Chains A and B, each alone.
Chain A
């Protein structure tokens, strides 16, 4: 268990944190995830990678937490309004720092879009693995990421950053 925890806890924590947006909740979340793994180790069928299995459990737990907190409906509306001590997109753009503006806008995506962007770009999951984690068809995975990217481009454009796409 220590080996498993040592190998995966940081990525599980980061994935959870990006979903629930609260460090304390994310901290509790990883304890719950690994405790579940401890309890259900026998149910792991080995058809997918351990990290895929862990991320799927993390996602399920995070959504349960969000439902419990009744924050789900707040998510999309509040995403752009969540305060941050860093510069806002306009300021970042004034600095001509596209990377910083990009990172800022990545946090402004909806929960569904953040999730798919993180799974593909950060956790480097294949189409099939994302489909398994999120529980949607593979074609939906592809189109959801495409529209997440379009939304990101829109946020950047609104912040004055033009990247030539779309």
Chain B
């Protein structure tokens, strides 16, 4: 095996030999890491080369760490440049909405009135068709004359005003917030998707890699907030989620 290693050095490097640096940094997949481990155990020449690689690895880290970091003015410069950037383009959905309102604004009042009448007619026809289809598909049920399942609901509606319901005793005054730590391997796209799905926004980045998030724009009952937090805690990319003021 030793002879083989020497021969390899003189000629083309072997596949295992090429993988040694990544084995030193621990970035090989499990299968390749096992292959390298086995080869190192068999071949002392390869093991010797691996020692050399570890020295190179340490020296490279040392060299880079000695370079220091950029001065704070680099950050100031960056954020000044960001502030000077033109306003971001609105989303495609927003653009479409604006275009549509522009289109309607361009129509004359007479055309608009005719269009509205036609739209109302189309809606009525559609409602009629749906009603007929629902009536046809309704299974035959037995009901007593005295039982009406809608009654309690209509009574409640009569008692509670149409406007927003009053806040319940257990309801939080503001939208719920939480301190969240994302998994180290969480990708930016995953975090963005999670924020979207929870209608959440990052308020600030707190200490120890935790972020303060706010969920939605409305208040929630304490049960709802607890359920949301429990759901969040189960997310694959979330390491920790705790309620925050």
Contacts and interface: CB of A to CB of B under 8 A. Distances in A.
Interface of A: 1-3, 5-6, 9-10, 13-14, 17-18, 26-27, 30-31, 34-35, 38-39, 44-46, 49-50, 98-99, 102-103, 106-107, 117-118, 120-122, 124-127, 142-143, 145-146, 149, 152-153, 163-166
B13 A118 contact: no
Contacts of B56: 102, 106, 117, 121, 149, 152
Interface residues of B, number: 47
Interface string B65-87: 00101110111011101100100
Given A6-B205, A122-B61, A152-B56, A46 B81 contact: no
A118 to B, nearest CB: 7
Given A99-B59, A117-B56, A27 B70 contact: yes
Contact of B187 (A13, A17, A34, A50): A50
A27 B188 CA distance: 25
A1 B88 CA distance: 15
Contacts of B110: none
Interface stretch (B14-22, B101-109, B217-225): B14-22
Contacts of B22: 120, 126-127
B120 to A, nearest CB: 40
Given A99-B62, A118-B64, 13 more contacts: A1-B79, A46-B188, A120-B25, A122-B63, A124-B25, A126-B28, A143-B13, A145-B21, A146-B17, A163-B52, A165-B48, A165-B52, A166-B9
Interface in B166-219: 187-190, 192, 202, 205, 211
8 contacts: A9-B74, A14-B64, A14-B69, A18-B64, A27-B71, A46-B192, A102-B55, A126-B28
Contacts of A164: 48, 52
Nearest to B57: A121
Contacts of A122: 60-61, 63-64
